[in-house]
Amino acid sequence: MTPENAPGASRLQAQALLELGRTQFNSRNYLMALEHFDRALQTDPTFTRALVAKAHALKMLGKPEETLRVCDEIIAREPEYATAHSTRGSALQALGRTAEARTSYERAVTLAPGDALALYNFACFWALERDPEKCRDYLARAIALEPGRNVRAAIDPDFARYREEPWFQELTAFK
């Protein structure tokens, strides 16, 4: 048996491809990131983390239908995967399916109440739905868990309508 055919070798190769994809993703090269994530999945089709990364890349590429399909695949594999529910909410919201989006976001924060990204995404949802109280609540919870989120929120276009509000300025102030 050659080392590349050894048990676990495909997962190690997939992990390396995932890391290459994440580097591209963090550099905002979403198409190149997607290619790496797809290659990771070709190497190991059971690698859920690569599937989640693919969903994020598709979301950033503005492909909500494909994002939704991938999120549904993740949830079919792992129904309790909070990140998949949150990303699914983003895709549904982009498709104008607001009630379904809300349900997905609610599921995400129920499954992972300490997940700053899920809370942040739900705050974005409420900002776009023009509910300042819920937006403030979820954003405050996200920032409390991950203080650096205030920097992202300060420039996030989803929160544009609240930038001049005292509560928003207080939440996003550099401390």
Domains of the chain are 9-112 (1.25.40.10), 130-175 (no CATH)
DSSP character for 174? Answer: -
Q: How far apart are CA 66 and CA 135, in angstroms?
A: 27
Q: What is the pLDDT of residues 144-164, one digit of tens each?
A: 999 888 888 999 999 999 999
Q: How many CA atoms lie within 13 A of 120 on its CB side?
A: 21
pLDDT tens string 13-63: 999 999 999 999 999 999 999 999 999 999 999 999 999 999 999 999 999
pTM of the model: 0.87
